[in-house]
Amino acid sequence: MHHSSNWTEPDTFNPDRWLNDSDIKLCRNSYFPFGFGSRICPGKNLANAEMKTLIALLYRKFDVELVDKVSPVKYDYRFIRACSELKIKVKPRN
């Protein structure tokens, strides 16, 4: 994760380096959240299950609706597909 052949200024904390695909040189020992392959995070399934549970509990207590129902989701395709903007209204249930 700190090898100079893979990163410019490898010892500096710089989260912006993930914003530009050209700065990422994929190599066998690069860091990726949750990892993949033989180095996958053993807590990945637990974290995903907890997130689903949290969302289910929030939907029990709140009404959630989209602000723009015509084109609500804007995707950003870089290293992974990510939703770059999703506007919602959240109101407590009665």
How many structural domains does the chain have? 1
Q: Residue 6: inside a domain, yes or no?
A: no
Range of the domain at 61: 32-92
CA distances from 42 to 1, 27, 36, 45, 51 (A): 19, 21, 10, 7, 16
77-86 confidence digits (pLDDT tens): 666 666 667 7
* pTM, rounded to two decimals: 0.46
Distance CA 36, CA 74 (A): 26
Q: Residue 8: inside a domain, yes or no?
A: no
pLDDT at 69 over 70: yes
Q: Residue 24: inside a domain, yes or no?
A: no
22-36 confidence digits (pLDDT tens): 545 555 555 566 777
Q: How many CB atoms lie within 10 A of CB 7?
A: 19
Q: Residue 54: inside a domain, yes or no?
A: yes
